[in-house]
Structure 1
């Protein structure tokens, strides 16, 4: 199979991944609107941990080798950042809807670029700094801090974007010594260990039909992560990452059609600015990589 064919297949896998992630977010919003968010996220992590344990036990060397690392603190911090991001972002879906949450959360690649210097020691040129500044101007357009009554909850997805950017950077840092499988196993197991006490404390009886939705949530999460890993295996990240912004499109459509969300003009304009700035930073990163 040629490189072009690999890239094409990787792009389609990324498109499918973003669609499944958007549907997963819609299910999360539905369940968290009816039940406590800690319970919903806990069940999701139980499935994730069971999935990772099954893979680890079937791998050569078993669980001990699968979790072997010289940087356990980094993996624990990574897992905690992801837990916080998931719990808070799902709550944001309920508070302000899928559209605005995803529009603001789309800033996380800009935060990755901005923080890659202090966290990873990578050089960020003036062009990317300019794009980062423009992207955050787009965030201000969405949030409208000087127009009417500013809703503090509208800034929640921006905090989630910061948490996910730090998680992404620490994942990249951990990859310098550990394979991706080690990070994957630690993420699932630490997540289940941390969330289980919270989930059991806030446990609520769930209707039968909603257990089907919960099963769909768990399966969609596992499927999307598998497809994402597969996409990165057969295509360069810089080639397929721009298509990750399609998740904003799918989520917006789902929010309008299912949850009666409203796409306000300032949100559409601001999201467009953020996405364009993010695409530029990805293009610059790819150009620098080719120049080496």
Structure 2
């Protein structure tokens, strides 16, 4: 475990995390560009289908892995949660400004904190409570309930964030029972299989251009997870976590320049509060030798 005063290779870690942010914002932008032309379940199914192709080497290595009894029930429940999450996410992404999607998505690790503290016996110490309260304040600044309409798209993204958070809890348990490559590969398989019947039910003709864009989405998502892993290896989370705030700035610029979305200072402020809360918790968890969760793309 890296010592608190060991910054590793901070410049390299920051650069890898910058690449991660660009990859994830690229994912958001392309899905926003595709809009409502394809049903959410169909677009998600195609994206994960391409993702499976990228994960073929990991799937091949699974053939000789022995897994403990009962693990497939956990894999199944995580698959169900992730299927639900990605459908909500794809549906919301076509309807909510890019910057707001990015800001709300950063609530993912905060929700994990609450679940782990209340249901998994980790407790909610003063630091965690402060982090949660600051993040909730940031979410209220972004959504501003009572001052403007909260759309179905906002609720869909909130639902996706909750499902991603619970999925992370299952992943945390599974990581102690199977190699990480197996956990990731099985997730891709179960999500693809789970999305298949829903996608077929709502299937619409797909153009070559749409297929190409969704292949790029799968590639960028895979690249983002890879660069995030490299960032974590290069430098501690306390160094790389604050860089994630730039995702909100890039998402705001993308929404304004490409989609003509108004720049909302409240979204930037609220997002900054949420990222600050996550960064505060990251620093506290690092002191305890834990690796806190990261936002899902």
Q: Which residue of 1 aligns with 2:24?
A: 21
Q: Which residue of 2 aligns with 1:105?
A: 105
What is the TM-score with the length of structure 2 in the denominator?
A: 0.86
Deviation at 1:189, TM superposition (A): 0.7
Q: Distance between the aligned counterparts of 1:207 and 1:270, measured in 2?
A: 38
Q: Which residue of 1 aligns with 2:53?
A: 50
Deviation at 1:98, TM superposition (A): 1.0
Q: Distance between the aligned counterparts of 1:117 and 1:24, measured in 2?
A: 31
1:82 is the counterpart of 2:116: no
Q: Secondary structure at the match of 2:184?
A: helix
Deviation at 1:144, TM superposition (A): 1.6
Count of residue pairs brought into register by the alignment: 285
1:131-150 alignment runs, 5 A limit: 131-150=131-150
Q: Tell me if the contact between 1:242 and 1:282 (Cα under 8 Å) persists in the aligned partners.
A: no
Q: Which residue of 1 aligns with 2:178?
A: 178
Please list every run of 5 or more consecutive structure 2 residues that lacks an aligned counterpart in the other structure: 291-297
Q: Tell me if the contact between 2:34 and 2:94 (Cα under 8 Å) persists in the aligned partners.
A: no
Q: Tell me if the contact between 1:74 and 1:170 (Cα under 8 Å) persists in the aligned partners.
A: yes
Q: Which residue of 2 aligns with 1:36?
A: 39
What is the TM-score with the length of structure 1 in the denominator?
A: 0.87
Deviation at 1:150, TM superposition (A): 4.0
Please list every run of 5 or more consecutive structure 1 residues that lacks an aligned counterpart in the other structure: none
Please identify, of 259-268 and 39-48, the stretch whose mean Cα deviation from structure 2 is larger.
259-268
Deviation at 1:194, TM superposition (A): 0.9
Q: Secondary structure at the match of 2:95?
A: helix
Q: Secondary structure at the match of 1:33?
A: coil
Q: Secondary structure at the match of 2:261?
A: coil
More helix by share: 1
Q: Which residue of 2 aligns with 1:252?
A: 252
Deviation at 1:76, TM superposition (A): 1.8
Assess, with a 3 A threshold, how the Cα gap between structure 1 residues 132 and 211 changes in structure 2: closer, same or farther.
Answer: same
Q: Distance between the aligned counterparts of 1:130 and 1:186, measured in 2?
A: 36
1:1-292 alignment runs, 5 A limit: 4-57=7-60, 59=61, 62-65=62-65, 68-70=67-69, 71-289=71-289
Assess, with a 3 A threshold, how the Cα gap between structure 1 residues 69 and 249 changes in structure 2: closer, same or farther.
Answer: farther
